[in-house]
Structure 1
Amino acid sequence: MDLAFLTPLCDRPGPWASVYVDASRFRASTDEERTLEALAVQRALACAGADEATCHAVRMAVDELRHAPEPVGRAFFATRGEVVLDPALSTAPPGTSVHWAALPHTAPLLDLAGEDPLCLVVRVDREGAALELWPDAGDGPRRAERHLPLWAADSPERSAAEIAEALVRCQAETRADLVVLVGDDAECAAVHERLPAAVRERALRARPGAGDERLGAELVRARAAHEAEVFAAARGRGEEATEGVAALVDAAHEHRIAQLLIRADGPDAHRSVWVGAEPDQVGVRPDEPAVLGARDAVPARADDALLRCAVAAGADAVSVAGADPGAGPAGGLGALLRWGG
């Protein structure tokens, strides 16, 4: 995910209110129920210690959702009586949640406000091949790109080569950054081995029997698995990746984070670090931000603090929550690194 849209959250001191609203359920409620939910958000913030002006601003923003054609959800980030940012969500959150903390709780956006990067889905069977462009959200093909003729029984090698060639052209035209092959093992393997290395590295197989509904979940899994594999390969080389809170804090100080990887349920994501007013004033001990010029240090979640560092450094971030257990960074936090500071 490109994090540039979060820049306004780095320019203001906290503390911050962060609210995630399931707008699909909210929209189906009566006016009275919507008002009560907005008031419940206000009360929850007040109980968490938020100031009255910020509580009121968030209540008004949530209440205004009744007039907006929200598809699934919206997040609100507010401080000092103002809603600073209110991004739409592409995936409904599991109910309305309310947070009051030193930093905005932005980590859930990686799973809820994805940019729907494109996957090129290639269905291969004895009937030929169909190329479809899907968003990562997995809610069905955006459009069919093309259909290729029947797989030639008398020349399967030629058929595989023709499909691979069409796949490469389509990937270049659409700029899909992930290719997912769906179909019988033999046909998919024949196409896969004829792809050039640059495309073959981003071509994955969907699990057998993936119909359209199941395929949507497979694309989410495939994306997370791909990112986890890239991280594991870089970590194996020992020079281009790191994991763990302490190592990531060091990388943030050196402005070396190129891509932050987060598994929301990892223990390190919830671990407390210490932060100052500036993004790079972060440390694993309460005295570290002072060394970096912070007047006061306050505790914050590690995932949110590192995301703030990534925003300020122009890095991006990705969720690996859909990858298989054990894949991706240990503890749930890792990064691909850039060279230099």
Structure 2
Amino acid sequence: MKLSFLEPLYKQSGPFASVYPDTSRDSAIEDPDAAVRLRWRHLRDALMSKGADRDSITAVAGTVGSDADVPGTHGQAVFIAHGHLALLDELPAPPARDTAHFGTLPDTMPLIVQHAPGIPYLAVHVHYGGRHSTDAPGTVRIEAEAGTWPLTKVTPGHRLDEEIPVADWPRAAGEVGRELEGHARRIDVETVVVAGDVWARGILIHRLPASLRGQVTTVEGAGESEPGRALLEQRLESLFQGRMAAHDRALLDAFLAERGRDGTFAEGLAPAVSALQRGRVKALFLNDHPESPFRLWAGPEPGQLALAEQELRSYGIREVTEEQAGTALARALVGSRAELVVVPEQELCLSEGVGVLLRYADPTTRE
């Protein structure tokens, strides 16, 4: 996963208020606005206890819950610097718990993890309920959406919505297929998920360009999509559960190959930190542990991180702060333009939850 979307945030100076509230508007909540206000009061108290300034608290207050138009379960990631909004992002799932952080660095790792697995996909729903014959009356309706999973749940992708007479469907399906191919190319789609009437979708699939036809997965029982949410969301949830994006999978395969030959890899927090200090990390692999106890020390620059305060001070670095490990690692990754791959622990359990694929050999990073 590339982290370039965070570069504008790290170009700003701290301290930062980083807030992750559950701002869900689902039917299970009787009064969602009241629930959001209650959560904000707890977060405000947490920010005050951490020394946040009044301007930052005021700015957060004006932002939390501003996503009332987003339906269903979700959350927000709010970053404030010096009383001004530095970054606002929607979370496709509510945070495990509401959190507020105030410190020198923004707490971005929870946001990064929610971007995973980052699978570019095309969802297509073929609506038709008539006779399976081209001389039948009525129309075939096509809904399609190109997006990146799971972000499309809260930030819908480009939509296509067309109705075509049944008699024209065999001819028009080819035109629709070429249009879909254009949307797919823009985001380098790796899978095409098709639902709906078996006969009508079969005609579409057989007329898709060859580049898409080999990527098709059909799903049943799609149901109606909720306005403002991802097309085929429930089916995509099941399909992509535990799956990694193809790009991340290739990076993981490279890491495993290097580990197998004792090559350009490192595993464990200390070797990973050493590699990041030298800017030699191509990709960092992380088992997601939201409550990780590990801490690191950080200086003003992205590569200035260490397990011990004295190590940084020995380099003549005066401004040193203790940070959650994820906070310091995230800044170092963005600063060095390295990638991050979230690896399910059941797939690969990493030592201390961390591994790195190196840009080139560096024996000193391995224990």
TM-score normalised by the chain length of structure 2: 0.62
1:296 counterpart letter in structure 2 = E
Report matched runs for 1:14-93 at 5 Å. 14-25=14-25, 29=31, 31-63=33-65, 65=66, 68-71=68-71, 72-93=74-95
Structure 2 residue runs without a partner (length 5+): 124-144, 161-180, 194-213, 223-231, 363-367
Matched, 1:336 2:337: no
Decide whether aligned partners of structure 1 residues 266 and 78 sit closer, same or farther in structure 2, where only a CA change above 3 A counts: closer
Aligned residues: 284
Decide whether aligned partners of structure 1 residues 31 and 173 sit closer, same or farther in structure 2, where only a CA change above 3 A counts: closer
**Per-residue deviation, 1:13:** 4.2
Matched, 1:9 2:9: yes
* In structure 2, C-alpha distance between the alignment counterparts of 1:31 and 1:175, rounded to whole Å: 35
Q: Which residue of 2 aligns with 1:233?
A: 257
| SS class of match (1:46) | helix
Report matched runs for 1:207-222 at 5 Å. 213=234, 216-222=237-243
| SS class of match (2:109) | coil
Deviations 1:131-154 (A, max 9, x none): x98854397xx999xxxxxxxxxx
Equivalent pair of 2:296/2:324 in contact (CA under 8 Å): yes
Higher alpha-carbon deviation: 295-304 or 85-94? 85-94
Q: Which residue of 2 aligns with 1:287?
A: 310
Equivalent pair of 1:91/1:113 in contact (CA under 8 Å): no
Deviations 1:252-293 (A, max 9, x none): 1211111222222288x5411111111111111112223444
Equivalent pair of 2:284/2:354 in contact (CA under 8 Å): yes
Residue 115 (structure 2) aligned to one of 113, 116, 122 = 113
Report matched runs for 1:299-314 at 5 Å. 299-314=322-337
Q: Which residue of 2 aligns with 1:317?
A: 340
Matched, 1:252 2:271: no
Decide whether aligned partners of structure 1 residues 309 and 244 sit closer, same or farther in structure 2, where only a CA change above 3 A counts: same
Decide whether aligned partners of structure 1 residues 214 and 53 sit closer, same or farther in structure 2, where only a CA change above 3 A counts: same
* In structure 2, C-alpha distance between the alignment counterparts of 1:222 and 1:26, rounded to whole Å: 26
Higher alpha-carbon deviation: 221-230 or 102-111? 221-230
1:330 counterpart letter in structure 2 = S
| SS class of match (1:61) | coil
1:99 counterpart letter in structure 2 = H
Equivalent pair of 1:275/1:305 in contact (CA under 8 Å): yes
| SS class of match (1:24) | coil
* In structure 2, C-alpha distance between the alignment counterparts of 1:266 and 1:333, rounded to whole Å: 13
1:92 counterpart letter in structure 2 = P
**Per-residue deviation, 1:220:** 3.6
Percent pairwise identity: 30
Decide whether aligned partners of structure 1 residues 257 and 270 sit closer, same or farther in structure 2, where only a CA change above 3 A counts: farther
Report matched runs for 1:125-164 at 5 Å. 135-137=148-150
| SS class of match (1:85) | strand
Decide whether aligned partners of structure 1 residues 308 and 55 sit closer, same or farther in structure 2, where only a CA change above 3 A counts: same
Equivalent pair of 2:25/2:32 in contact (CA under 8 Å): no
* In structure 1, C-alpha distance between the alignment counterparts of 2:122 and 2:283, rounded to whole Å: 23
* In structure 1, C-alpha distance between the alignment counterparts of 2:105 and 2:325, rounded to whole Å: 10
- RMSD, matched Cα: 4.3
1:241 counterpart letter in structure 2 = F
**Per-residue deviation, 1:180:** 10
